[in-house]
Amino acid sequence: MITYEINDALYINLTNRCTNNCSFCIRNHPEGFGFDLWLPKEPVLEEIMADLENLELYNEVVFCGYGEPLVRYREIIGICRHIKQKGVRTRINTNGQANLIWNRNIVPELKGLVDSISISLNAKNAEDYAELCRPEYGKAAYSAVLDFAGECIKYIPEVWLTVVDVISAYDIEVCRGIAEGIGAGFRVRHYC
């Protein structure tokens, strides 16, 4: 499934690939989500665009699926240009490792195309992050996520750090302090 709707938002599922293997990820329990988001193959740009009719029906288009959307950031840029021409708000839900994936800072390319970005922090330090999120990049991923968030604050109007409530209340508050310290918003997501 390339696109799916939740409330007044259209979600775009671009890939199954992810640089994390989070212990709590919905990919581990797909039957509980209500959508079959596993892609038999990554959709090409033309297939994605074909699913983007009637954008005026939505308040927001969100890049979020079973994989890390910014693995396909080039496609996101093309899609966002189309969406912005229609006057619709855009958001990316990400693990924040795009600059590691691409080995360079891609954030400036998102300026003017992405209205909001939600970055999964999920831990108060690199050790906890490595244990919970099991990133391909090991403990280095945590500081890269924070660096990515700092870059996003420079170019994207709305930046959120998020945690899933599988961590302790104390850890959640430490993460809230990290978000506030860099000037990002903070949200706690409920584990389904």
- Going along 41-149, which residue ranges are E strands? 60-63, 89-94, 116-120
Identify whether the C-beta of residue 83 lies closer than 8 Å to the C-beta of residue 90. yes
Q: What is the pLDDT of residue 24?
A: 79
Identify whether the C-beta of residue 118 lies closer than 8 Å to the C-beta of residue 91. yes
> Global pTM?
0.93
Whether CATH 3.20.20.70 fits 3-189: yes
Tens digit of each residue's pLDDT (9 = 90 or more) over 50-59: 999 899 999 9
Tens digit of each residue's pLDDT (9 = 90 or more) over 63-73: 998 899 999 99
Dihedral sign of CA atoms 167, 171, 177, 179 in order:
negative
